[in-house]
C-alpha cells in the first residue's frame, strides 16, 4: 500500500527497485561476488585488455545504479537482472578500453611526429592523414571498429580476439565466431575503412585546391 506521501507510480517504482536490488544484492558482498561467474567473466575481460586501475566492486555498484535509474526512467522491471547487469558492466569496461585506446593513439601519434620532427611538411601531412583515418574509422560499425582496434591497436592475435567474443557470447547465448570468420570480417572492415579514408582524404584535398 502506498503511504500518504506516495502516489501509486512512486510506489510501483519502489517495488520494482526493491525487486531488482534483492535479485543482485549478493553481488554487493565482496566474498560472495568474487565467487560468481560474473566476477570471473569481468576479471577475464580486464586482464585480456590490460585495463589499468579497475575496481570491479565499483563497476558493479555503478551497474546497479544504472539499473535503478533505468527502472525510474522506464517504469518497468528488469526481466533478467543478472544478465542485464552483466551486459551493463561489460559496457562500462568497454568505455574504459576506449579511453585506453585513445591514450595509446595519442602516444603513437606523438612518437610518429617525433620521428619526423625535422620536416614540417611531412609532420603536417601525417597529422592530416591521422585525422582522416580516425574519421574513417568512426564511420565503420561498432563491431568493425572493435575488431580493427583489437587487431591493429591492441595487436591481439586472432585466437585472443576469438576468446574475447567467446566471453561475450557466453553471456548472450550466442555462438562465438571462428578464426576464419574473423579473418573475413577483418578483410571486409579494412576494405570499408580504406574506401572511407580515401573518400574523406581526397575530398579534403579537393576542397583545399
> Which single residue is written with the C-alpha cell 576468446?
163
Mean pLDDT, the chain, rounded, equals 79
Question: Domain count of the chain?
Answer: 2
Residue 156, domain extent: 116-209
Is the Cβ–Cβ distance between 133 and 197 less than 8 Å? yes
Q: Which of 46, 66, 77 is nearest to 38 (CA)?
A: 46
Domain-located, residue 109: no
Residue 107 lies in a domain: no
Residue 1, pLDDT above cutoff 50? no
In a domain, 108, yes or no: no
Sorting pLDDT into bands at 50, 70 and 90, what band is 176?
Answer: confident
Residue 106 lies in a domain: no
Among the listed ranges 51-55, 73-77, 132-136, 146-150, which one has the minimum average pLDDT value?
A: 51-55
Q: What is the pLDDT of residue 68?
A: 94
Predicted pLDDT of residue 182: 92
User: In CATH, what number is assigned to the domain containing residue 144?
Assistant: 1.10.10
| Segment 13-36, tens digit of pLDDT | 788 999 998 888 888 786 777 667
Asked if residue 189 is part of any domain, the answer here is: yes
Cβ atoms within 10 Å, residue 41 = 17
C-alpha to C-alpha distance for 56 and 35, rounded to whole angstroms: 13
Is residue 123 located within the same domain as residue 156?
yes
Examine the pLDDT at 143 and tell me if it is beyond 50: yes
195, part of any domain: yes
* Domain endpoint, select from 35, 66, 96: 96
Let me know whether 120 and 92 are in one domain: no
Rounded average pLDDT over 173-178: 81
Geometric angle at alpha carbon 73, from 67 and 77, rounded to 5°: 55
- Residue 5 confidence (pLDDT) above 80: no
Residue 182 domain flag: yes
pLDDT value of residue 112 = 55
Q: Is 94 exposed, middle or buried (0-12, 13-18, 19+ CB in 10 A)?
A: middle
**pLDDT tens per residue across span 92-126:** 988 887 776 666 665 565 555 555 555 554 556 66
Q: Are residues 91 and 121 in the same domain?
A: no
- Which of 96, 127, 151 represents a domain boundary (last residue)? 96
pTM value > 0.75: no
With H, G, I as helix, E, B as strand and everything else as coil, classify residue 154: coil
With the CA atoms of 107, 112, 116 and 121 taken in that order, what torsion angle do they form, in degrees rounded to the nearest 10?
-100
Confidence grade of residue 157 (pLDDT, cut at 50, 70, 90): confident
Amino acid at each position: 500500500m502506498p503511504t500518504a506521501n506516495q502516489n501509486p507510480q512512486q510506489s510501483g517504482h519502489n517495488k520494482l527497485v526493491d525487486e531488482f536490488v534483492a535479485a543482485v544484492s549478493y553481488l554487493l558482498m565482496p566474498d560472495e561476488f568474487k565467487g560468481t561467474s560474473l566476477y570471473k567473466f569481468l576479471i577475464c575481460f580486464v586482464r585480456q585488455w590490460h585495463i589499468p586501475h579497475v575496481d570491479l566492486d565499483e563497476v558493479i555498484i555503478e551497474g546497479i545504479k544504472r539499473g535503478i535509474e533505468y527502472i525510474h526512467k522506464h517504469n518497468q522491471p528488469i526481466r533478467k537482472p543478472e544478465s542485464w547487469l552483466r551486459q551493463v558492466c561489460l559496457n562500462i569496461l568497454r568505455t574504459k578500453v576506449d579511453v585506453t585506446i585513445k591514450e595509446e593513439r595519442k602516444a603513437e601519434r606523438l612518437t610518429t611526429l617525433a620521428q619526423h620532427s625535422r620536416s614540417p611538411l611531412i609532420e603536417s601531412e601525417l597529422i592530416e592523414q591521422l585525422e582522416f583515418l580516425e574519421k574513417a574509422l568512426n564511420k565503420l560499425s561498432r563491431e568493425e571498429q572493435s575488431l580493427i582496434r583489437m587487431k591493429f591497436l591492441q595487436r591481439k592475435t586472432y585466437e585472443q580476439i576469438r576468446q574475447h567474443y567467446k566471453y561475450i557470447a557466453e553471456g548472450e547465448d550466442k555462438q562465438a565466431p571462428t578464426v576464419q570468420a574473423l579473418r573475413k570480417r577483418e578483410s571486409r572492415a579494412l576494405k570499408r575503412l580504406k574506401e572511407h579514408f580515401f573518400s574523406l582524404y581526397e575530398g579534403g584535398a579537393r576542397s583545399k585546391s
